[in-house]
Amino acid sequence: MGLYRHLTLGFRDSIRVVKIDPAKDQTEWIQLSIFQVRLRDRPKYEALSYEWGAEMCDKSVICDGQELQVKINLAAALKHLRLSDEPRWMWIDAICIDQENIPERNQQVSIMRDVYAQADRVLIWIGEEFPYVKDAFKMIPELAKNWQIREVARLQAGDSRPPLRLRPSIAEEPSLMLQNELLWKSLYKLFASTYFERTWILQEIVVSTRATVVCGKQQVDWKLFNWAASFINATTSLLQNAPDTDTLTKVSGIDQIRSMYKQRGGFPLPLYLVFVQVLKSTNPRDKIYAILGLRRDGIKELSALAELLRVDYTKSEQQVYQDAARYIIESQQRLDICCGQPLTSKGVEDLPSWVPDWSARMEGAPSTFLTACSHYRLHNLLPWPGIITFNHNSMYTDGLSIDSIAFATGTLSCETPLPAIKQIILHLCSQLGVAPTRQVDPGLASLASIRYRESVSPTDGQSIFEALWRTLIGNTAYFKPAQPTFARHFEGLLDIIRLRERGIIFDRTNINEITVLEPDVGQKFESDIFSQLLWRSAVEKDTHPFFAELVNTIQGRVFFTTSKGYMGFGAMGSKIGDQVCVLRGGSCPFILRSHDTYFEMIGDSYLHGIMQGRILDRPRPKRQRFRIC
Asked if 462 and 537 sit in the same domain, the reply is yes
Asked, for residue 543, whether it belongs to a domain, the answer is: yes
Pairing verdict, β 567-571 and 14-20? unpaired
Instruction: Report the 10 Å Cβ neighbour count for 310.
Output: 13
Asked if 472 and 582 sit in the same domain, the reply is no
Asked if 436 and 549 sit in the same domain, the reply is yes
Local structure of 527: helix, strand or coil: helix
Say if residues 293 and 203 touch (Cβ distance below 8 Å).
yes
What is the layout of strands, in order, in the sheet containing 46-49? 66-68, 61-63, 31-38, 14-20, 88-91, 46-49, 121-127, 211-215, 218-221
Nearest to 228 by CA among 174, 150, 131: 150
**Planar angle of CA 552, 554, 555, nearest 5 degrees:** 70
Asked if 392 and 511 sit in the same domain, the reply is no
pLDDT of residue 458: 42
Asked, for residue 145, whether it belongs to a domain, the answer is: no
Asked, for residue 418, whether it belongs to a domain, the answer is: no
One DSSP character per residue, 418-475 reads HHHHHHHHHHHHHHHT---SS-SHHHHHHHHHSBTTTT-GGGTT-BHHHHHHHHHTTT
Say if residues 267 and 180 touch (Cβ distance below 8 Å).
no
Domain that holds residue 476: 427-554
Q: How far is CA 311 from CA 52, 286, 306, 329, 605, in A?
A: 21, 10, 11, 19, 33
**Planar angle of CA 199, 127, 116, nearest 5 degrees:** 45
- Where the chain has pLDDT below 70, the residues are 1-2, 5-6, 58-59, 148-180, 235-245, 297-303, 341-346, 361-377, 379-380, 415-417, 432-461, 478-479, 498-545, 615-618
- For every residue of 152-195, which 3-state class applies, written as one string? HHHHCCCCCCCCCCCCCCHHHCHHHHCCCHHHHHHHHHHHCCHH
* CA 430 – CA 417 distance, rounded (Å): 20
**Torsion sign across C-alpha atoms 506, 511, 517, 520:** positive
The strand pairing partners of 606, in sequence order, are: 569
Asked, for residue 341, whether it belongs to a domain, the answer is: no
Asked if 474 and 490 sit in the same domain, the reply is yes
pLDDT of residue 450: 60
pLDDT of residue 437: 46
Instruction: State the chain's maximal CA–CA distance in angstroms.
Output: 87
Asked if 527 and 592 sit in the same domain, the reply is no
Nearest to 217 by CA among 313, 86, 329, 129: 129
Asked if 527 and 588 sit in the same domain, the reply is no
Nearest to 318 by CA among 354, 291, 272: 354
Nearest to 191 by CA among 227, 216, 237: 227
Asked, for residue 585, whether it belongs to a domain, the answer is: yes
Q: How far is CA 402 from CA 399, 564, 584, 598, 627, in A?
A: 9, 9, 14, 18, 17
* CA 554 – CA 482 distance, rounded (Å): 16
Number of domains comprising the chain: 3
pLDDT of residue 487: 81
pLDDT of residue 1: 56
Could you say which of 498, 524, 554 is where a domain stops? Answer: 554
Say if residues 256 and 288 touch (Cβ distance below 8 Å).
no
Asked if 445 and 550 sit in the same domain, the reply is yes
Asked if 539 and 607 sit in the same domain, the reply is no
Local structure of 209: helix, strand or coil: coil
Say if residues 614 and 380 touch (Cβ distance below 8 Å).
yes
Quote the DSSP letter at residue 609: T
Could you say which of 70, 103, 119 is where a domain stops? Answer: 119
Local structure of 277: helix, strand or coil: coil
Asked if 34 and 97 sit in the same domain, the reply is yes
Could you say which of 119, 141, 174 is where a domain stops? Answer: 119
pLDDT of residue 215: 96
* CA 75 – CA 60 distance, rounded (Å): 8
Asked, for residue 257, whether it belongs to a domain, the answer is: no
Asked if 67 and 115 sit in the same domain, the reply is yes
- Does a cis peptide bond (omega within 30 degrees of 0) precede residue 352? no
Q: How far is CA 47 from CA 12, 30, 32, 283, 422, in A?
A: 19, 18, 15, 21, 55
pTM beyond cutoff 0.95: no
Asked if 486 and 523 sit in the same domain, the reply is yes
pLDDT tens-place string over residues 342-390: 555 667 778 999 999 888 766 444 444 444 455 566 766 787 888 999 9
Nearest to 171 by CA among 192, 190, 150: 150
